[in-house]
């Protein structure tokens, strides 16, 4: 299952509302996670099951979608949100687990 994120990079300002899109090559129901990765750090799980917020993650992060099209929204960008974001499908488990190519969110 191929996962395609858009855009590949994005420039935004603190306070902006930002949306990242992830599209699957086939239907994956709600089996979609979102991760944030900062430079030199391990990824951090933000959203699982397409829309469930992982514990400790700020409520400005939200996820939506089902089937083939999904979105990650940050309602009001904070300085600590500038990072790379990855979507991941788990529908193909146990042998086909794939990530999108990543979306780099940069400061404008």
Partner 1 sequence: EVQLVESGGGLVQPGGSLRLSCAASGFTVSTNYMSWVRQAPGKGLEWVSTIYSGGPTYYADSVKGRFTISRHNSNNTVYLQMNSLRTEDTALYYCARDIGYSGYDWGYWGQGTLVTVSS
- Residue 82's alpha-carbon distances to 29, 66, 74, in angstroms, are 29, 26, 11
Q: Which of 20, 36, 48, 70 binds partner 1 (CB under 8 A)?
A: 48
Least Å distance between CB 96 and partner 1?
8
Q: Which of 19, 64, 71, 99 binds partner 1 (CB under 8 A)?
A: 99
Would you count residue 39 as binding partner 1 (CB under 8 A)? no
Are the CB atoms for 92 and 72 separated by under 8 Å?
Answer: no
Indicate which single residue of 28, 31, 77, 82 sits in contact with partner 1 (rule: CB under 8 A): 31
Backbone angles phi, psi at 81, to 5 degrees: -90, -10
Is position 59 an interface residue for partner 1 (rule: CB under 8 A)? no
CA-to-CA distance for 23 and 27, rounded, in angstroms? 9
Q: Which residues bind partner 1 (CB under 8 A)?
A: 31, 33, 35, 37, 42-45, 48-49, 52, 54, 86, 88, 90, 93-95, 97-102
């Amino acid at each position: 299952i191929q996962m395609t994120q858009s855009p590949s990079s994005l420039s935004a300002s603190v306070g902006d509302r930002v949306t990242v899109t992830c599209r699957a090559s086939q239907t994956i129901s709600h089996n979609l996670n979102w991760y944030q990765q900062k430079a030199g750090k391990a990824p951090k799980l933000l959203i699982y099951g397409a829309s469930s917020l992982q514990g400790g993650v700020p409520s400005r992060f939200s996820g939506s979608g089902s089937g083939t099209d999904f979105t990650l929204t940050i309602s009001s960008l904070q300085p600590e949100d500038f990072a790379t974001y990855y979507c991941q499908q788990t529908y193909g488990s146990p042998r086909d687990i794939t990530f999108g190519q990543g979306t780099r969110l940069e400061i404008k």
